[in-house]
Amino acid sequence: MAVGIAKSTANLSSYLGSDANGYSYVGSNGNKLNNATSTAYGSTYGNSVVIGVAMDLDNGTLTFYRNGVSQGTAFSGLSGTFYAAEGTTNNGDASTANFGATAFSFSPPAGFNAGLY
**pLDDT tens digits for 36-76?**
999 999 999 988 899 999 999 999 999 999 999 999 999 99
- CATH fold, domain 2-87, is Jelly Rolls (2.60.120)
The mean pLDDT value for 84-100 works out to 83
**pTM of the entire structure?**
0.92
DSSP string, 57-112: TTTTEEEEEETTEEEEEEE-S--S--EEEEE-SSTT------SSSS--SSPPPTT-
- pLDDT tens-digit profile of 65-89? 999 999 999 999 999 999 999 987 7
Tally the C-alpha atoms within 13 A of residue 23's C-alpha that lie toward its C-beta.
Answer: 22
Residue 55's pLDDT is what? 95
